[in-house]
Amino acid sequence: MQGRLWRRIDMASLDLAVIGEACALARGHGKTLLPFAKNSLEHEIMAAMDMTSHMTTHFDDAIDALRTSAQELAAPLSVGVDLVFGTLANNGKVLACGNGGSAADAQHFIAELVGRFERDRLPLAGVALNTDTSILTAVGNDYGFDSIFERQVSALGQPGDVLVAISTSGNSPNVIRSIEAAHDREMSVIALTGKGGGQITSLLHETDVHLCVPHDRTMRIQEVHIVLLHALCDGIDALLLGDTL
């Protein structure tokens, strides 16, 4: 309805009523029109019509990012599934960490393990290292922000556990230090990165898994990361409960 309203405005016969209607609609879209200014109105109308095309490019770009990632990451992702499953089957646990959107992804992933993914099963052992505000603020205050994950990995990690370390750039100092601490604790690492992998690439061992999204835009990397984490959950459930595909 709103799209049709934009298109039926006749630029050659604008009147105050039409301008008022357009201004009201624009305000509903968070826009501001200059009343009685035909050129401004024409520009805003075109901007609104072009926005649909602009939004479509996000879907197209995301699809391309997923297709490219599928070609490059399906094999290491399957290795990651086996790694996590082996850890959980041997009474180990998964630790996960990240900053900002990656922090949300980390706790989302752990929630799927401890709660469930798509099918009922026993809870699986996992801890998100970015959720305890007392630990984060205490360690951050006493040792610095770069230590907030490292300290927890050193406290909680045991040989055979897995750290899922998420950094879109691959250069987050606190995530880097968590990987170093995990190796000190004889843990394996699954690193989710992008933009070429950054400094994390050179830190990983042969027994680790690197899921580096082949894209340079943060939003696309994050979108692929959540698909990777959901696929990990699905793969674990497939091994535990049987494949339903």
CA atoms of 112 and 233, how far apart (whole Å)? 7
Mean pLDDT of all residues in the chain? 88
List all residues 6 or more positions away from 24 whose beta carbon is below 8 Å from its beta carbon. Answer: none
Q: Please determine, for residue 27, whether its predicted confidence score (pLDDT) is greater than 90.
A: no
- Residue 209 has φ and ψ, to the nearest 5°, of -125, 130
Q: Please determine, for residue 7, whether its predicted confidence score (pLDDT) is greater than 80.
A: no
What is the DSSP code (8-state) at residue 211?
E
Number of Cα atoms under 13 Å in the Cβ half of residue 108? 18
Q: Please determine, for residue 36, whether its predicted confidence score (pLDDT) is greater than 50.
A: no
- pTM (2 d.p.): 0.81
Looking up tokens 């027994």 gives: 207
pLDDT digits 0-9 by tens, 56-74? 999 999 999 999 999 999 9
CA angle in degrees (0–180, nearest 5) for 89-90-92: 100
Residue type, 107: Q
**pLDDT value of position 114:** 98
Sheet of 162-166, strands arranged across = 126-128, 94-97, 162-166, 188-194, 209-213
pLDDT digits 0-9 by tens, 12-26? 444 545 555 555 555
Helix (H) or strand (E) holding 95: strand 94-97
- Residue 155 has φ and ψ, to the nearest 5°, of -80, -40
pLDDT digits 0-9 by tens, 184-221? 999 999 999 999 999 999 999 999 999 999 999 999 99
Share of the chain above pLDDT 90, in %: 76
List all residues 6 or more positions away from 16 whose beta carbon is below 8 Å from its beta carbon. Answer: 36
Tell me how far apart the terminal alpha carbons of the chain are, to the nearest angstrom: 40
Nearest-10 Cα torsion for 183, 187, 193, 199: 0
Q: Of 72, 88, 15, 6, which Cα lies nearest the Cα of 44?
A: 6
Contact 124, 244 (CB under 8 A): no
